Amino acid sequence: MLTKRIIPCLDIKNGRTVKGVNFIGLRDAGDPIELARRYTNEGADELVFLDITATKEKRKTLVNLVRDIAKEINIPFTVGGGIRTVDEIEEILKAGADKVSLNSSIVKNPALLTEASAAFGSQAIVAAVDAKQMKNSWEVFVKGGSEATGIDAIEWMKKVELLGAGEILLTSMDRDGTKSGFDIDLLKIVNQTVTIPVIASGGAGTIEHCCEAVLKGYADAVLAASIFHFREIEISDLKKEMALQGISVRTINESTNKLMAKEEIEFIYDLERLLISRRVEKPKGSYSTKLFKKGIDKIAQKLGEEAVETIIAAKNKKQSELVGESADLIYHLLVLLVEKEISFDTVIQEMMLRSKK
């Protein structure tokens, strides 16, 4: 089982964190910057920021607040709400977000998903889906859950994957804020239908609810708000119980009290982008350029050599040597993938698909 993520969500209105029930009855939940800092220190795997009234009020996301929060955290940061164009996505990413969450804008203009994933990579594009049960199916709602679309939610999630979304943030409107548990039936159907990661949202009330979302609903991540904001559940306690139930979770490094920094997580994507550039521009003096010029046979041969050297290092039982050879192996694997025009994200998605079997 691949590592599952715990994600606090900051629903923002007028610069403050708020929380309601079924998308209404909002109450103040605290200062978003202080909460973001707290969640980073407490071991959250990621953080989601949703400007919940931006679309309805026809305005842009609060970029300055996004920038202020990004300065305070070192975990992956997703931002959504009122984002309608590729230029606005770029502005949010430059402000410090690692991913953007798109909802109403892609229902209105599905091509935005494809354009965004082509421009920034599918790993940076999250398709947010607010789904409400209608007898034996679920319908997509937009504009902060205030407007029905008539679109079948399951079919829509199949489509967003094809259009280029790297992840789905699925919120059950019926369960949102009720603390009655996630919609397991919905999660199970979606996770058996799509191959990209699915974040479960709406209904978290207990530790067991979160475990069920993963074990029964096959969710790749669990998102919650009020149970974390008001300290009804501590992230550390949730992770301990998940681990006891056989769910793989990232633990805090006790010596530094930090999870792996987002710069480290994103490094592999930075390297991939650099290799793509090297393949196209072929600058002189670059080792990568030499490999690309010699073609797939030479690249495959070099990858095989690195694999053998990694095996030898493992048998020698010298940890530093094994680490070094493993780094060489991963680098040359990336070169091979770039040469074959296969994104690293595609490989990760395949691994996630296999983890669900």
| CATH number where 153 lies | 3.20.20.70
Residue 253 lies in a domain: no
Q: Which of 198, 216, 244 is the last residue of a domain?
A: 244
Nearest to 229 by CA among 54, 9, 4, 2: 9
Given this model, what pLDDT does residue 254 score? 43
Residues 6 or more apart whose Cβ sits within 8 Å of residue 198: 167, 168, 170, 187, 190, 191, 218, 219, 220, 221
| CATH number where 271 lies | 1.10.287.1080
Residue 254 lies in a domain: no
Reading the block at residue 37, the tokens are 């800092």
Given this model, what pLDDT does residue 284 score? 84
Catalytic (active-site) positions: 11, 130
Residue 151 lies in a domain: yes
Q: Which of 193, 213, 244 is the last residue of a domain?
A: 244
| Element holding 279 (H helix, E strand) | helix 262-281
Residue 61 lies in a domain: yes
Concatenated DSSP letters of 16-76: EEEEEETTEEEEEEE-HHHHHHHHHHHT-S-EEEEETTTTTTT----HHHHHHHHHH--S-
First vs last C-alpha separation in the chain: 10
Residue 256 lies in a domain: no
Examine the domain organization and report whether 154 and 286 are in the same domain.
no
Examine the domain organization and report whether 225 and 89 are in the same domain.
yes
Examine the domain organization and report whether 167 and 291 are in the same domain.
no
Examine the domain organization and report whether 99 and 184 are in the same domain.
yes
Count structural domains, the chain. Answer: 2
Q: Is the pTM of this model over 0.85?
A: no
Q: What is the pLDDT along the chain (357 residues), one digit of tens a residue?
A: 578 999 999 988 877 788 656 545 555 667 889 999 999 989 999 999 988 666 555 556 688 899 999 998 888 999 998 899 999 999 999 999 999 999 999 999 999 999 999 998 888 999 999 999 998 899 999 988 889 999 999 999 999 999 999 999 999 999 988 999 999 999 999 999 999 999 999 999 999 999 999 999 999 999 999 899 889 999 999 999 999 999 989 876 543 444 444 445 567 878 888 899 889 888 888 889 999 999 999 999 999 999 999 999 888 766 778 888 899 999 999 999 999 988 887 887 787 777 655
Residue 251 lies in a domain: no
Residue 324 lies in a domain: yes
Given this model, what pLDDT does residue 267 score? 76
Examine the domain organization and report whether 239 and 282 are in the same domain.
no
Question: Measured between alpha carbons, how far is 53 from 12 in angstroms, rounded to an integer?
Answer: 8
Write out the residue range of the structural domain in which residue 171 sits: 5-244
Given this model, what pLDDT does residue 297 score? 94
Given this model, what pLDDT does residue 323 score? 85
Given this model, what pLDDT does residue 256 score? 43
Contact present, 36 and 282 (Cβ < 8 Å): no
Examine the domain organization and report whether 54 and 112 are in the same domain.
yes
